[in-house]
Amino acid sequence: MELPKDPMILFSFINTKLRDCYPSLDALCEDMHIDKVELTETLRAIGFEYSLEYNKFW
């Protein structure tokens, strides 16, 4: 599956997947074959950080 290119749509897509399907960012990245560092840097660039406590970017 190709991830959305638009960072805001990517943010929404990843948070939806985390909420509905995955217990952690690590599980999502492993299952979807996503580079965790690249993903977190992309979302950090638009002001979002991952919260382990809430299992979402905000």
What one-character DSSP code corresponds to residue 3?
P
The per-residue pLDDT for 47 is 98
The per-residue pLDDT for 32 is 98
Query: What is the chain's pLDDT, residue by residue, as a tens digit (58 residues)?
Result: 799 999 999 999 999 999 999 999 999 999 999 999 999 999 999 999 999 999 999 9
CA distance 34 to 53: 21
The two tokens of residue 54 are 């809430």
CA distance 7 to 1: 16
Q: Is 46 within 8 Å of 8 (Cβ atoms)?
A: yes
The per-residue pLDDT for 27 is 98
Q: Is 38 within 8 Å of 6 (Cβ atoms)?
A: no
Give me the residue label for tokens 């997947």.
Answer: 17
